[in-house]
Amino acid sequence: MDLADRLPTLMDDRDAAADVARHLAEDGLVRLWSSFQRFAEASYAATPASATTSARRNAFQNLDESNRLWGGAIRKTYADFLDQPENADLVRLVQARHVLAHRDGLVDAEYVARSGDARYKVGQRLVVTAAEVRRLAVLVQKLAAGVTVAIP
């Protein structure tokens, strides 16, 4: 993400620099949440609850499903590891990942409703910044630490 921030000073073509930076940020956001999803799947499989309540494929991509599974397994949800502004950012950024991965970055009504992100209207192209990827990285670290400590 540091490179994405510096690209405009490293490339002569500012439009190309902005395009590469956008791709780096979008890919970073998608990959970061996917990596956390894999961590959550493996961590959940290590809980006694997984023997009786299996997680469906890609359950940990979805915050509601994740919280339901963790609530049953460790009696905590992601909101227990984050403060309210952090949790709001998590919801917005995970919804942004969904739009990037499944809607080619085009905002839909579901994104607007679930994310609470009033910056966009349906049909607009979502913009992800390097700062937002860094923010998700911080949130993922907090979640991973919280889940790790809470697993019996």
Distance from C-alpha of 55 to C-alpha of 18, rounded to nearest angstrom: 39
pLDDT at 1: 87
Residue 91 has pLDDT above 90, yes or no: yes
Query: How much of the chain exceeds pLDDT 70, in percent?
Result: 100
Q: How confident is the model at residue 64 (pLDDT cuts 50, 70, 90)?
A: very high
pLDDT at 15 exceeding the cut of 90: no
Domain hosting 105: range is 2-150
**Between 31 and 2, the higher pLDDT residue:** 31
Give how many domains the chain has, as a whole number.
1
Q: State mean pLDDT over 25-37.
A: 96
Query: Quick check: 129 and 25 in contact, CB under 8 A?
Result: yes
**pLDDT average, residue stretch 124-144:** 97
Looking at residue 110, what is its pLDDT?
94
Residue 7 confidence (pLDDT) above 90: no
Alpha-carbon distance of 25 to 19, in angstroms, equals: 10
Q: Is the pLDDT of residue 152 over 90?
A: no
